[in-house]
Amino acid sequence: MIEFCNRESRTLCLMLAALFGGRSTTALAETPPKATDVAKTPADKTSGLELVRVNGKPIFDADVDRMLAKSGAIAAADRTNPLFRAAVLNQLVDRRLVQDFLVKSKVEASPQEVEVEIARLKAELDRSKQTLDQLLARTGQTDASLRAELAWELSWQRYVKQQITDESLEAFFNAHHLEFDGSELHVGHILLRPTVAGDDAALASLVKQAIDIRQQILDKKITFEAAAAKYSAGPSREKGGDLGYIGRHGPMVEPFNRAAFALGKDDISPPVATVFGIHLIRALSVKPGTKKWTDVRDPLRTAMTEQLFQQVATKQLATAKIEFTGKAPFIKPGTTELVTPGG
């Protein structure tokens, strides 16, 4: 089982973990058209191909383009990558599901509230001698898509404020304290590195090799230290794979850190994909942190907001009607399965 995907030997998951560096794609998402607006307004000619309908409401390739353009984390050359585009489309579907939920929950921003935000934005632009039209041209938005984004932000912020309280932040901290209290984890790893970057088949082969190595260690046919010395491509192989202590947010990359801090003492992770290759990680000991929940309010709120988004989207998915047109690659909802046109 691959740690980040909860599915066995999914090459797509490995690529997405490497491409996105383990970050939630929530952070990359630009807002699609507001659910109620889409139902009332026909697509304009700039929307391009219709890619999917969520409960009868369309999402277009132009929505994916705007999301990718908005994210400074993705280089322009990568914006045509089918895995990026499929992951972003998947995020747009989740966003639409959450939007529908907000409408049903009667926390949707009113047109009057959106107009207030537009007025504020125009005033800010005026102070820097810019116009709204210039902003729209620079960001590739339309007036309608900007209003939809503002409506989304106001609605979602209102719901988050209702759900995330000091009590819930403290409870979340207590349940995930290793991630936030400054604890450090003593870890070792075995790194299997592909000889050619971007070789999908080679990456899948390394996952199978990592699964086999892990099983050998669990069956006590070889020690972790001996396996590191024999198989690992990392310099730590000279020390039995020992990396010393790491924090939850560094110095290793996020997919590695996330997997490591989910382990119990002496546990060995399933294969973990990062930009460096495939890892097997062992947790050795913990050096407890001293931070309290009040010291980490902002990271707690960010983590809880992401969790809340996923919980709502997942719940809505169970009863949603999602119809992909098959005109572009997409990730089958609720899975990590990439579906390509004609596939």
pLDDT tens per residue, range 46-65: 467 999 999 999 999 888 88
Higher pLDDT, 199 or 61: 61
Query: What is the dihedral angle through the alpha carbons of 179, 75, 10, 325, rounded to the nearest 10 degrees?
Result: 120
Q: List CB contacts of 119: < 8 A, sequence separation 6 or more.
A: none
> Which of 46-50, 253-257, 278-282, 301-305 has the least mean pLDDT?
46-50
Residue 105 vs residue 20, higher pLDDT: 105
pLDDT of residue 11: 33
- pLDDT on residue 74: 56
Check pLDDT > 80 for residue 83.
no
Output the CA torsion sign for 213, 216, 220, 226.
negative
Average pLDDT rounded to a whole number, residues 115-120 = 96
Dist. CA 167–CA 144, nearest whole Å: 38
Q: Is 241 left (phi over 0), alpha (psi -120 to 50) or beta?
A: left
Looking at residue 76, its pLDDT comes to 60
Percent of the chain with pLDDT over 70: 82
- List pLDDT tens digits, range 127-163: 999 999 999 888 778 899 899 989 999 999 999 999 9
pLDDT at 72: 57
User: What pLDDT does 315 receive?
Assistant: 95
Residue-wise pLDDT for 319-331, tens only, equals 999 999 988 888 8
**What is the reported pLDDT for 33?**
33
SS3 at position 226: helix
User: pLDDT value at position 62?
Assistant: 87
pLDDT of 73 higher than 70: no
**So what's the pLDDT on residue 198?**
61
Average pLDDT over residues 5-17: 35
The values of phi and psi at residue 250, to 5°, are 160, 165
What's the chain's average pLDDT?
Answer: 83
Please state which of the ranges 41-45, 154-158, 250-254 shows the lowest mean pLDDT.
41-45
Find out whether 111 and 144 touch, Cβ atoms under 8 Å: no
Q: What is the pLDDT of residue 95?
A: 93
Q: How confident is the model at residue 343 (pLDDT cuts 50, 70, 90)?
A: low
Residue 5 scores a pLDDT above 80: no
pLDDT at 323: 94
| Position with higher pLDDT, 98 vs 29 | 98
